[in-house]
Structure 1
Amino acid sequence: MNHDHHGAAWQRVSAAARTGGFTLTVACRACADDVDADFAGATLVVAGELRLLATVTDERARVVEDAQLVTGEGPCTDAYTRRAPVDAVDLHHASPRWPAYAPMAGEHGARSVLALPLIIGNLAVGAMDLYRCEPTPFTPVQKDRASAYARILALLALEEHPHLLTSQSRPAQRGPQGFPPTVHMAAGVLAAKHGLTPDDALARLRAHSFRHNQPLLHTAEQVLDTHRLDQLD
């Protein structure tokens, strides 16, 4: 870790915290501003499986981050499983890499992305994604600075979500093997109503979200409220 970058990152987060407090959201926004990202988000991973959206800088980030849950692929998952930074200069040319996620992210203005794992010691707790609306690569200096912020976000993640320290870890796998509890509850409703297996019900939820371009959690809440999916095939 470059101590100059780490110190500068803490200074910016501390300055921003004077009005917003020391939170994941404050740190994420400070990082995005510092490295000239247009928007950003962070996702936490519990026990190597359950993905929880921890923070976003704006609604664009929320939709693009949720697209990784819907499609089961993307820079966040890759950065977490590899425990290394992952970047794509132009998502318009990243379809072979993330065939479902890249077009969805592009539809919402994401063009370049830099994902960094959130790691404390030997514990990986998630990943942060930094997005640009133009196909402009992050410079080596910006990547080093972003890595400093990633460590700060990891510390704040453990402070805000201490259960990450006690969750039983499982080997990390590609794709979101777990989802927030609301999604699993909705899948259970569909499975019971339509005689589906849990995996098939979850696939229906994800397919509906993908088809209608809406957040996966929104689809799940709709099912819990109405016990049905609109236009369920």
Structure 2
Amino acid sequence: MDNDHHAAAWQRISSVASTAGLSLVSACEVCADDLGADFAGATLVTAGELRLMGAATDERARAVEDAQLVTGEGPCTDAYVRRAPVEEAELGRASGRWPAFAPLAVEQGAHGVLALPLTIGVLAVGAVDLYRCAPTPFTAAEKTRATAYARILAVLALEEHPHLLTALPTRPARRGPQGYPPTVHMAAGVLAAAYDITPDDALARLRAHSFRHNQPLLRTAEHVLDHQRLD
């Protein structure tokens, strides 16, 4: 039965690839459409530390995936750390589970989410998040199909980011983002030098600014690199 779901997922992705091209983004779009998700995103993890956005089907997905990076919590992180699917049918009631992330996700229209780890054998490279605008749980059949898609997305992630194969974890996976894209670290360095603060304090300021202004963390970092200041 699992092989049937896997073959069906590949067939759907391949039919789209013949016209739109095969990519992690296009595969996420097919996955979301097939499973009744309104939008989806994939976050990749390098060496168990560095997080980067691998795919987003639209701006809502991009904003919600970035919110997980900014807040340091969310379904993507939990699915990656646990190596198991994570579901929340009503994000509006998940303040105890993800107190910082859940309100931001709801602001973007996400009310339900299913997150699955992207794994190949023992190697985990990230997670995919499927969001619904209605608090409707995914059925058992949909979860099974989602697992088949996750295996395919993991392969595509490695094809687009082959360094994930060689960047082995240096420590056990933990909750929360232990690293950020290089742009964020560079921006934190600029702020640390400009305000004579530690890199950790500079990173905290970046995250707080992004959170306060509802702005993607990468956009905040790029602004700092361009203007050598936060505001």
Report if TM-score (shorter chain) is over 0.5.
yes
Counterpart residue number, 2:166: 166
Q: Which residue is 2:87 aligned to?
A: 87
Cα deviation for residue 35 of structure 1 reads 0.3
Unaligned runs of 5+ in 1: none
Q: Cα deviation per residue 1:7-60 (whole Å; 9 max; x = unaligned)? A: 110110000101122210111000000000000000000000100100110000
162-171 vs 81-90, which moves further: 162-171
For 1:131, the equivalent position in structure 2 comes to 131
**Equivalent position of 1:37 in the other structure:** 37
Runs of 4+ in 1 over 3 A off after TM superposition: none
Aligned partners of 1:109, 1:210: CA distance in 2, in Å? 17
Q: Distance in 2 between matches of 1:164 and 1:135?
A: 34
The one-letter code of the counterpart of 1:225 is D
Describe the SS at the equivalent of 2:97: coil
- Where does residue 74 of structure 1 map in the other structure? 74
Q: Which residues of 2 match residues 1-233 of structure 1 at below 5 A? A: 2-170=2-170, 171-230=172-231
Shift of 1:229: 1.1
1:168 & 1:138 partners in 2: Cα distance? 33
Deviations 1:116-166 (A, max 9, x none): 000001000000000000000000100100110000000011111110000
Q: What is the number of residues matched between the two proteins?
A: 230
Q: Provide the TM-score with structure 1 as the length reference.
A: 0.98
Per the normalisation by structure 2, the TM-score is 0.98
Instruction: For residues 45-93 of structure 1, give each alpha carbon's deviation from its aligned partner in whole angstroms, at most 9, with x where no partner exists.
Output: 0000100100110000000000000000000000000000000000000
Q: 2:202 corresponds to which letter in structure 1?
A: A
Q: What amino acid maps onto 2:84 in structure 1?
A: A
How many percent identity over aligned positions? Answer: 74
Question: Post-superposition shift, 1:169?
Answer: 1.2
Root-mean-square deviation (CA), in Å? Answer: 0.7
